[in-house]
Amino acid sequence: MSRHVDLLIVGAGPAGMSAAIVAKRHGLRVLVVDEQPSPGGQIWRNIENLAGTPRAGLLGKAYGEGAAVVGRFRASGADYEPGTQLWHVEAGAGARAFLRRDGAASSVRAGCVLLATGAQERPAPFPGWTLPGVMTVGAAQIVLKSSGQIPSGPVWIAGCGPLPLLYAMQLLQAGGMVAGFLDTTPPGRSREVIAALPAALLGAPGDLLKGLSWIARLRRHVPYIRHVAAIEATGEGGLENIRYVTADGRDATVEARLLLVHEGLVPTIHPTLALGCRHVWNTDQDSFAPALDGWGETSEQNVFVAGDGAGIGGARAACLRGELAALRIAAKAGRLSEAEAEALALPVRSRLARALSPRRFLDRYYRPRPAVFIPPDQTIACRCEEVRVAAIREQIGASRPGPNQVKAFTRAGMGPCQGRQCGYTVAHVLAAAEGRSVPDVGLYRVRPPLKPVTLGELAALDTMDALS
């Protein structure tokens, strides 16, 4: 049987929870579904169990701040279903979403749907990145937050952005060992981005200073190699060696069992792509994001996006974007007048501008090096179907194929992850070879289901409901 709610929120991270709190305050019937077993999103993962424990202490203040939001979310009265995946969504006069939970599929009708599906780590392919022993920094941090585990031996960390630094500090504090840190930020960045610094300092001076002090502390404790331009992982059935080359040509090989990599975040856009929403290219973030109005509504009516899925902005901005979307949705449902919604939104908007003020600086400072986008030919681009960059390149000819043709001929993007790891790589390789821009080339067409769903699960979907 299909349920009906005023607002379906997909994702129980900062944006989804904040939206639910505001929407409930204005009397909407709200259902929040989330893939994870508990609320908090990736940033505040497992916070309910950890608040007040030593582990929360070592994860830091920004992590601890999640406890209050999760508490308000739990008290809001919104229906909440963890362990639930969205595998199909349709928009129209009202939205319709298809979910799976505990091996059974179901559907929900909603006046509005808010996609608060956050971000994923930017795929950063290099030769050997599929070997056991190579993981993302975000993955290792999730293991720490949700399962209380750290690498058992010295770990190499390679990447660019605040997260690798933060995780390295957390790991050291937890009693872990860092074998070395490969900073892949290209040289000359400070000079290039100095113009964006004042706004960032004004908005979040503490965060920036914290970052600098982490680098200083890390450099005192572990080998810290700057301007790493290329990485290669090798081994038989698992990581054994890492080779790295710096921008000034230093070439070294080190033994390693575990390498953690991170090259920034990109918004999760599979659901909005599937819905046919218009997307725009964000040059500073080298990624697509759905085109949104000032409230977070997409080009498809009644479909909203908030949080990092709207463009990477961090947890504080995500909460505020969630609140704005909920205000507009409440107005649409007649629970608020337009004027009331505008008045309530005013202070939220100014706090949002402040939360986003360091973004320009961070995005430009930590813009990934070129090899992240166009890796060497022997690199596996599509992890699922094991398609190498060379095979994608072979498709390029007089016909100037797009991503969908490349997919049909090479199977890149056809595996279970549905192009979440190779979409941008294919776009960049084609764009460079064909002299086009990445936004012009675009990504694969996204078809349902968004996540694999079995026939057994579909059987649970009420037949009449499916046909209605």
Partner 1 sequence: MFRTLDQETGETLTVHVDGRPVAAIADESVAALLLRQAAPWCRTTPVSGALRAPYCMMGVCFDCLAVVDGVPSVQTCLTPVREGMRIERQQGRPDVTP
Contacts with partner 1 by CB under 8 A lie at 35-37, 42, 46, 49, 54-55, 83, 85, 103, 120-121, 130-136, 138-140, 142-143, 146-153, 174-175, 237-238, 257-258, 383-386, 415-417, 420-421, 452-454
Give whichever of 422 and 438 is closer to partner 1, judged by the CB atom.
Answer: 422
Give whichever of 236 and 251 is closer to partner 1, judged by the CB atom.
Answer: 236
Give whichever of 84 and 357 is closer to partner 1, judged by the CB atom.
Answer: 84
Return the closest-CA partner of residue 365 out of 122, 184, 217, 203.
184
Q: Does residue 333 contact residue 302 with C-beta atoms inside 8 Å?
A: no
Give whichever of 118 and 203 is closer to partner 1, judged by the CB atom.
Answer: 118
Q: Is the dihedral of CA 80, 84, 85, 91 positive or negative?
A: negative
Q: What are the φ and ψ backbone dihedral angles of 23, each rounded to 5 degrees?
A: -65, -40
Q: What are the φ and ψ backbone dihedral angles of 288, each rounded to 5 degrees?
A: -85, 150
Give whichever of 403 and 423 is closer to partner 1, judged by the CB atom.
Answer: 423
Closest distance of CB 340 from partner 1, Å: 38
Which position has the token pair 């499916």?
Answer: 466
Closest distance of CB 163 from partner 1, Å: 13
Give whichever of 141 and 184 is closer to partner 1, judged by the CB atom.
Answer: 141
Question: Could you give the C-alpha distances from 334 to 253, 294, 329, 343, in angstroms and in order?
Answer: 64, 19, 9, 16
Residue 114 carries which DSSP code? E
Q: In sequence order, what are the residues at sequence separation of 6 or more whose Cβ sits closer than 8 angstroms to the Cβ of residue 271?
A: 10, 86, 89, 115, 117, 450
Give the Cα separation of 331 and 97 in Å (integer): 22
Closest distance of CB 330 from partner 1, Å: 30
Total residue count of the chain as it appears in this document: 468
